[in-house]
Amino acid sequence: MILRRRTLLAYNKNAIFHSLSTQSTTIQTPYRKTPIPPQDSDTLNKLDHKDWLAPCEVLKITSAIKNPTSLITFLDQYSKRKDYKPNEALYTLVINKLAQANMFDAIDYVMQRINAERHCCRLSDELKSLED
């Protein structure tokens, strides 16, 4: 009887944790239906390689992207990799490129993503103040 209660409690805690974790990471992705321009498709194909990418390589790929709408696709593809490790330099570069293109909805999406992935990377106080 006691074992059964503990099992049910453990199951309920896992179910609650799972529902909370899936709810907090649900973010509306803007520009998902936008086709990838040909000049960026070669750059984005570098994310399909199985080799691990160093943070400086990720920044080079990000800076090589010409069309700002491809940055959201890039972030989505990069986040699915095993070596996904976002950093402040990546987010700063992405936000700057989106700001230059006046894509403020996409910047909101990136900021939501930063909030959702707060445990994955360390951010400076300046970037944290932008989140609020």
Per-residue model confidence (pLDDT) at position 129: 63
pLDDT single digits (tens) 34-54:
667 766 777 777 877 778 889
The verdict on pTM exceeding 0.75 is no
Q: First CA to last CA across the chain, in angstroms?
A: 48
pLDDT for 125: 67
Residue numbers in the chain where pLDDT is lower than 50? 1, 3-27
Cβ of 98: how many Cβ atoms within 10 Å? 21
The DSSP string of 50-103 is SS---HHHHHHHHHH--STHHHHHHHHHHHTSTT----HHHHHHHHHHHHHTT-
- Map out the domains of the chain as residue ranges: 29-131
